[in-house]
Structure 1
Amino acid sequence: MVRIANAVRPRLAKAVTAARPRVARLTRSLRPRPVHLPRPRTVRTWQYAAGAATAGLALAAGVVTAAGPWDANGQRTAERDRAAALERSGGTDHGGRGTPRPAPSAGPVLTGLGRVTGAVDTKKAAPGAKALTDVLGPLLGASALGGTHTAAVVDVATGKRLYGVDSGKALTPASTTKIATAVAALSALGPDHRLTTRAALEPDTGELVLVGGGDPTLTAHAQPDGWASLRTLATDTAAALRERDIHKVTLSYDTTLYTGPALHPIGVNDNLAPVSALTADEGRTDNSTAGPVRRVADPAKDASTKFAGFLKAAGITTTPPGPSKASTRAETLATVSSPPLSALVERMLTNSDNDIAENLARRTALASGEPGSYDGGAKAIAARLTKLGLPMTGASFHDGSGLDRDDRLTADLLTALLVTAGDPGRPGLRPVLTGLPVAGFTGTLTSRYTDGAAGLVRAKTGTLTGVNTLAGTLVDRDGRLLAFAFLASGTTDPMQAQSALDRTATALAACGCGQPG
């Protein structure tokens, strides 16, 4: 039984209350009962042995417990509380906001894996290729997955590929591209890097310039609670102006950090705002924090207009804002900064946030000496992954989000990215794993796996017309941590294809295909 510290009891009570309906369903579904496990060749995808599920969930809970510290928006905290209460992993969506914390380290997590593996008495070797072929082959061959599919399964502890089907063939990856973007951004900038928006006063003209820093989480909401607030920036700026006895200014905005087209090649789209170095609330026209919604046509002008309104409320009158560029002599009056990059990466992966992805691609470009554009970001991502020694044959990047249908990745590259993120020697990449949605609990997997491997699978989803992908990690029935990538092209029914991928991941988690060690 996981011990519950006094410090988490208030959050624990709240988490348990909120989760009670799902808890009841999970408790019923996982109640121990006598079972007879079939051979790997005949594993039925949706039927879990209670003993195997308990071992896997205990392992997952151990990973969550060992992973601390907990992130800004509460996912890791909620998972810890729920693991303590239910002896299983879970979490809450990344829509919430909280005080930023440092990125967790991979070292304690992998150490924790070893401890918990021993606790559940796992003495099996990694699954064999034939056993995995018997289990996964028929599922990946389902007609719902279209005419072309590729797959790879890798043992995270050793980095050895255990199973592959055309794993070196490059296909359209859709949003699993964000895994590559995350690894590249963390490698280029580090998990503690923050993106800063500032207000600067020109000494000669008295012009006030709002300088965009490429922070996709900048918000105009009244209570951001830890995220960079445009309202706070205006309040601090107004105070600095009043100290100088300035009560009226010419207001402008500077977006020159980025270059090139602001619109994605797909054009105007509810899934992504025009990419600008200055944007408030991702240019959303409602109060949403995730998912598709109509966006403003000019994010920088929209953010500056809101900033002017906040200044007015603080006693500073401004002209209508227009574009400009801050000089090197401009005096910074006030700044606000994003949460650390680790939190941005987790939010991007959990919610499949295209706006964060494209900003991180541009910031990766700038850190790599490339222009802050779509082309610069794509080039920088490829260069960073090449430098890490990853298998880049066939890979092609055109954006950071995966919305571009010309992107190409292989199953080998996706699994290598996940294994690299778990390398104890690269703790700064840990948010790539902790940000993956949890099956049945968080982000884009919240409503999936409700009768399958809930809590055992953590994976990034990908969906475009005719394309369905899934890549992530899971704990199999023998207690081994596996990385997997499944890519399908030519699908005709996205929901059927999605279900087919989920059944495949569930079967892998239920396999228990390892031989005695």
Structure 2
Amino acid sequence: MRWRLKVGATVASVLALFCGYLVADAYDVVPGMVTLAAPYDAPAPFPDAPGAVPGPSPEVAVPALPEAAPVPDTDRIGDLVTALAEDDRLGKRVGVLVTDAATGETLGESAAGRQQVPASTQKILTAVAAYAGPGGEVTLPTRAVLEGDSQVVLVGGGDMMLAPDAGDPDAVNGRAGLGDLADQVVAQVTLSGRDSVSLAVDDTLFSGPDVSPTVRDSDVADGYVAPVAALAVDVARLTDDKYAKRESDPAMAAADQFAAALEDRGVTVSGSISRQTAASSAREIGRVDSAPLGQIVSYLLEESDNTLTEVVGRLVAVDAGLPGSQEAAISEVVATVESLGVDLTGAVLTDLSGLGTGSSTSVRQLVDTLAVAAQDPTMREAVTGLPIAGMEGTLHERFAEGNPGRGYASAKTGSLPDIRSLAGTVVTTDDRLLLFAVTADAIPEGGSYGANMLFDEFVGDLAACGCTTDAP
């Protein structure tokens, strides 16, 4: 009986404590699930984004002009074109075309459809094809792979602008460095205790001929072009001069410098360096990447680099699934530009840089190529990457102080014996963007330098040429 009383008392105590806890919980004195407080307000719905509307089409690069916009002075521009075309100092074969970038309207022309020697203005075709094909963001890898325990293969991916040692992340020429690649390889090789490797180079990305047969031997000897290779240091220059003599075998010369970098870091290269296609099963142990292709294209346009133009053309072919040969490069550059709507009927390309003999295009074809690039955001940098008059690249010492086109024109130059050309854009005093191309390919002897000045004055006059006050 006594034990029942004790159990009853215990149960009563527990119940009392529990009830007390519930009361304390209800008044939020102690933590728990019971409360007398008012419930929380229902959560507000997620707000709609105010003013959200579909963005503009990325395919529209230049918006339509308002109807009230002034129009270019076609009479004045026509007079300028006629005066230039009839200038005896330029010879009897002068082609000129000026168009309005916004409307495509022809503002002045003379022999615009005649096929003439374009010289280096021909590089515009390759530049546009590079953006339309591989794209400006693509980079070119230089890799090192390990076959077996001690065979290193240096694999070229098209970068002929390697630095011999450390790369410079802010540079275009020299962005990727063989020294940086050697650091990665040494770190991997020495993990197994090795201090010696054999070395091969795989330069099979591109195939011959390495130099176009249409290029003069004297131009090769003078350093205007190097043999095209899947890898090289400083575009195969033997010195720092822009037109220095070039390595006869750029890929093997790069491999020699890579071997020296390995040895400087304590890994000996045994035997001679061979050529070898890297096996698909080989393990990658190092990689460095070039500057983006768009920056390379801007570089070749500014410096009028013949070798890099040929390299980029072959990359366009490889991107299309074709061999990395000169023949495939020329074919694919032409096909790509034509696919954009440019009529290249009658044009002949014997190389891509314009250095060789036998190429011909019309000023209409050059301007039309610029026009399609200017209207498309994915290709526009092929136009904006042209050197600025009086400030950059091959136009650095052109467009003298006082020329209205200085700083307002951007153009690709072309220079061969008795041949001069210029193609690009110019902004007028009314902020109208014009496209132009001019070629003279039969300049009287001794008149080539004067032709540059005449071209500069012509473009400067276009810059100073205002619009008419009344819209149509």
TM over 0.5: yes
Q: Which residue of 2 aligns with 1:261?
A: 209
Aligned mates of 2:389, 2:369 — CA distance in 1 = 20
| 1:211-242 Cα shifts (integer Å, max 9, x gaps) | 11111222215452341111111111111111
Aligned mates of 1:382, 1:431 — CA distance in 2 = 19
State the secondary structure of the residue aligned to 1:361. helix
Aligned counterpart for 1:273 among listed residues 204, 226, 245: 226
Aligned mates of 1:317, 1:200 — CA distance in 2 = 17
Aligned counterpart for 2:269 among listed residues 297, 314, 318: 318
1:225-236 counterparts in 2 under 5 A? 225-226=169-170, 227-236=175-184
Aligned residues with identical type, % of pairs: 35
| 1:236-274 Cα shifts (integer Å, max 9, x gaps) | 111111123322111010111111211232243411111
Paired residues of 2:167 and 2:178 also in contact (CA < 8 A): no
Q: Which residue of 1 aligns with 2:340?
A: 388
| 1:369-412 Cα shifts (integer Å, max 9, x gaps) | 32212111111111101111112121122222111221111111
Q: Does 1:176 align with 2:121?
A: yes
Aligned counterpart for 1:494 among listed residues 441, 448, 459: 448
CA apart distance, 1:367: 1.4
1:305-454 counterparts in 2 under 5 A? 305-319=256-270, 320-423=272-375, 426-451=376-401, 452=403, 453-454=405-406
Q: Does 1:504 align with 2:458?
A: yes
Aligned counterpart for 2:103 among listed residues 144, 158, 180: 158
Paired residues of 2:98 and 2:109 also in contact (CA < 8 A): yes
Aligned mates of 1:477, 1:428 — CA distance in 2 = 28
Paired residues of 2:165 and 2:180 also in contact (CA < 8 A): no
Paired residues of 1:169 and 1:394 also in contact (CA < 8 A): no
Q: Does 1:292 align with 2:246?
A: no
Write the letter of the residue equivalent to 1:239: A
For structure 2, the 5+ residue unaligned runs are 1-56
Q: Does 1:196 align with 2:141?
A: yes
Write the letter of the residue equivalent to 1:172: V
CA apart distance, 1:123: 4.4
Paired residues of 2:142 and 2:155 also in contact (CA < 8 A): yes
Paired residues of 1:183 and 1:417 also in contact (CA < 8 A): yes
Q: Aligned pair in 2 of structure 1 residues 506, 293: CA closer, same or farther (>3 Å)?
A: same
Q: Does 1:133 align with 2:78?
A: yes
Aligned mates of 1:158, 1:471 — CA distance in 2 = 18
Q: Does 1:148 align with 2:93?
A: yes
State the secondary structure of the residue aligned to 2:161. coil
Paired residues of 1:140 and 1:504 also in contact (CA < 8 A): no
- Paired residues in the alignment total 401
State the secondary structure of the residue aligned to 1:180. helix
State the secondary structure of the residue aligned to 1:422. helix
Write the letter of the residue equivalent to 2:470: P
CA apart distance, 1:284: 0.6
Paired residues of 2:143 and 2:287 also in contact (CA < 8 A): yes
Paired residues of 2:81 and 2:96 also in contact (CA < 8 A): no
| 1:271-296 Cα shifts (integer Å, max 9, x gaps) | 111111121111111134xx311111
State the secondary structure of the residue aligned to 1:412. helix
| 1:291-344 Cα shifts (integer Å, max 9, x gaps) | 311111111111011101111111111033221111111111111111111111
Write the letter of the residue equivalent to 1:448: R
Paired residues of 2:166 and 2:176 also in contact (CA < 8 A): no
Paired residues of 1:459 and 1:470 also in contact (CA < 8 A): yes
TM value normalised by structure 2: 0.81
State the secondary structure of the residue aligned to 1:429. coil
CA apart distance, 1:481: 0.2
Q: Which residue of 1 aligns with 2:33?
A: none
Q: Which residue of 2 aligns with 1:224?
A: 168
CA apart distance, 1:515: 4.6
State the secondary structure of the residue aligned to 1:402. coil
Aligned mates of 2:86, 2:93 — CA distance in 1 = 9
Aligned mates of 1:445, 1:106 — CA distance in 2 = 32
Aligned counterpart for 1:207 among listed residues 126, 144, 151: 151
| 1:58-96 Cα shifts (integer Å, max 9, x gaps) | xxxxxxxxxxxxxxxxxxxxxxxxxxxxxxxxxxxxxxx
CA apart distance, 1:106: 9.0
State the secondary structure of the residue aligned to 1:282. helix
Aligned mates of 2:76, 2:406 — CA distance in 1 = 23
Aligned mates of 1:132, 1:332 — CA distance in 2 = 59
State the secondary structure of the residue aligned to 2:162. coil
For structure 1, the 5+ residue unaligned runs are 1-104
Paired residues of 2:298 and 2:386 also in contact (CA < 8 A): yes
CA apart distance, 1:514: 3.2
Paired residues of 2:136 and 2:293 also in contact (CA < 8 A): yes
Write the letter of the residue equivalent to 1:410: S
Aligned mates of 2:123, 2:160 — CA distance in 1 = 15
**Rg (Cα) greater in structure:** 2
Aligned mates of 2:73, 2:322 — CA distance in 1 = 43
Paired residues of 1:142 and 1:500 also in contact (CA < 8 A): no
Aligned mates of 2:113, 2:167 — CA distance in 1 = 47
> 158-167 or 471-480, which moves further after superposition?
158-167
State the secondary structure of the residue aligned to 2:406. coil
Aligned counterpart for 1:303 among listed residues 254, 264, 276: 254
Paired residues of 2:224 and 2:306 also in contact (CA < 8 A): yes
CA apart distance, 1:348: 0.9
Paired residues of 1:251 and 1:318 also in contact (CA < 8 A): yes
Aligned mates of 1:257, 1:516 — CA distance in 2 = 57
| 1:384-442 Cα shifts (integer Å, max 9, x gaps) | 0111111212112222211122111111111111111111xx31212212211111111
Aligned mates of 2:366, 2:211 — CA distance in 1 = 27
